Structure 1
Amino acid sequence: MSSPVLENPTTAETSYVLLYNVSWEQLEQLDVTLAGTSARLTYLDNILEIMSPLSDDHEDSKKTLAMLLEVYMRTKKIRFYGRGSATIGKKSDKTRREPDESYNLGAKKPIPDLILEITVTSGGINKLQIYQRLRVPEVWFWEDGLLSVYCLQADNYIKVTRSTLLPDLDLDLLAKYARMADQYDAVTEYSQIITKAT
C-alpha cells in the first residue's frame, strides 16, 4: 500500500490540504482519527481533501440560504426531505462528500435531488465531478453573494438561469434575500413576498 502524498499544505490563504494516493482504507482510518475535530473529508479517485472546520460566514450563509429555500418549498406545498450534510459516495464510486446542505424532493432517496454548496475557499477537489458521478440532478453554489445553478443534462452539468427542479422559483429574488445581513428579517420578508404571490 502506497503512502499518501501531501501536495498543498494549509497556508493563511487556504483552509484545506490535499493528499494524493490515498486508498479507501486509508480514508476510513483518517475518518476515525479525525472524528470530533469538525474536519470535513472529500474524496475523489484516490485524492483526499481535508477541510478545516467551517467558518461562521460559511455556516451563516448556508443556514440562511437553506431557510429561504425551505420557506419557498413549504409555501408552494412542494414535498421535500432535508438531508443536511449526510455523507454520500462509496468505495465502488471512488467518491465521498458531505454536502453543505441537501434535499430530496417528492420522496426520500439514497442520493439527494438538490445540493447546496457554500464556497468560501476555492480550490481543492472539483465537487461537481463527484456529484456528476453520483448523478445528483441539481447543484447550487453560493459564492461571494452570487448563486450559480448547475443541472445534470445527459452526463454533464450545464449552468442554467432557472432551476429544473423548481422552475417557478425566482433565483434572483432568493439570492437578494440570502445577501441580507439579518437572517431573521431576510426569511420573514421573503416569506411574506412568497405568500402574497401564492
Structure 2
Amino acid sequence: MTAILLDRQIESSPEPILIPELTWREFKATEQLIDRPGVRLSFLDGVLEIRKMPGKRHETIKGRIGALVEIYLEFLELDFTPTESMTLANESQQVKREADKSYELGPDREHPDLVIEVVVTSGGIDKLEAYKRLNIPEVWFWIGDRLLIYILREGEYTENVRSQLLPTLDLNLLHRCINIDNHGRSLREFRAGFNPK
C-alpha cells in the first residue's frame, strides 16, 4: 500500500520528495525498497531525496552536452572514460549521488574528475555539498540556458568563468551549440568552431 502511494506521489510531482532524519543504514534499507525504474535516489546528511527521472528536455540537453564534451576530449586526444551517471557514495561522509554525466580524464581514477548536472527543477539536496564530500574536482551545472562551472579549491567550490580541467575550451562556442535545436547541426558547428577547415 505504501509503495503504491509513494509511486503516485513521485509520478505527480516534478519536485523531489525529501525524507529527513535517516541514518545511513535506514537509507540503504529504503534504497533497496525503492529500487525501481524511473526513480533516482540521493542522500546527504540524513536526508533522502527521491526524484522522478527527468523528461525529454533534460535528457536531450544532457545528451547534447555529453556529445560536445566528448568531441572536444577526442580532439584534444585525452585519455578519458565516460562514467555517465554512475553511483557515487561515501558512508563516512553521509552522501550518495548520481550525476547526470561524469568523466574520468585519465586512466584508473578513483572517482570522476568532471561531473555535469542539467537542472530543470528546483529543490532537493545541496548537490555542490554532495560533490564536495565526494571530492569531485569540477562540477558543471546547466541551468536554464547557462553553464555554471564550479572548481574545488582547498575544500570549497568556487564559481569560475573557465574550466580548470579544459582551460582551452571555448565556452561561448559550447553555449551556442548546446542551444541549437538540431542535434546534428549542433555537433557539426561545434567541430567547425575549433577545427576550421
| Alignment TM-score > 0.5, same fold | yes
2 CA distance for matches of 1:108 and 1:185?
Answer: 34
Corresponding letter in the other structure for 1:192: A
Shift of 1:62: 0.4
Between the two proteins, the alignment pairs up a number of residues equal to 190
Structure 1 residue aligned with 2:132? 132
- Aligned with 2:74: secondary structure? helix
What residue number does 1:93 align with?
A: 93
Which residue in the other structure is 2:157 paired with? 157
Q: Is the 8 A contact 1:80 1:103 kept in 2?
A: yes
Q: Which amino acid aligns with 1:128?
A: L
2:100 pairs with 1:103: no
Taking a change above 3 Å as real, the CA distance of residues 11 and 38 of structure 1, as seen in their structure-2 partners, is closer
* 1:12 CA drift (Å): 6.3
The Cα shift of 1:10 comes to 6.4
Q: Distance in 2 between matches of 1:189 and 1:14?
A: 33
Show the counterpart of 2:44.
44
In structure 2, the partner of 1:146 is 146
d(CA) in 1 for partners of 2:148 and 2:161? Answer: 8
SS of the aligned residue for 1:29 comes to helix
Unaligned runs of 5+ in 1: 1-8
Corresponding residue number in structure 2 for 1:62: 62
Which amino acid is 1:60 matched to?
Answer: T
Deviations 1:39-64 (A, max 9, x none): 11110010011001211111111000
Tell me if the contact between 1:95 and 1:130 (Cα under 8 Å) persists in the aligned partners. Answer: yes
Could you tell me how far 1:130 is from its partner in structure 2? 0.7
Q: Which amino acid aligns with 2:66?
A: A
Structure 2 unaligned spans of 5+: 1-8
The amino acid of 1:140's aligned partner reads W
> 2:4 corresponds to which residue?
none
**1:32, distance to aligned residue in structure 2 (A):** 1.9
CA contact (8 A) 2:90 2:96 kept: yes
State the shift of 1:11 in Å.
Answer: 9.6
Task: Report the secondary structure of 2:92's partner residue.
Answer: helix
SS in structure 1 at match of 2:115: strand
1:72-115 deviations in Å (ceiling 9; x for gaps): 11012122111000000221120000000000112231211000
State the alpha-carbon separation in 2 of the partners of residues 128 and 180 from structure 1: 28
For 2:3, the equivalent position in structure 1 comes to: none
- Of all paired residues, the percent bearing the same amino acid is 33
- Calculate the TM-score normalised by the size of structure 1: 0.90
What's the RMSD between the two structures over aligned residues? 1.9
> Partners of 1:120 and 1:64 in 2: how far apart?
15
Greater shift after overlay, 137-146 or 105-114?
105-114
Deviation at 1:188, TM superposition (A): 1.9
Structure 1 CA distance for aligned equivalents of residues 93 and 154 of structure 2:
18
Checking the alignment, whether the CA contact within 8 Å between 1:139 and 1:151 is kept in structure 2 is: yes
Equivalence for 1:4 = none
Alpha-carbon contact 1:81-1:108 (below 8 Å) kept? no
User: Residue 3 of structure 1 corresponds to which residue in structure 2?
Assistant: none
Q: What is the Cα deviation at residue 13 of structure 1?
A: 6.7
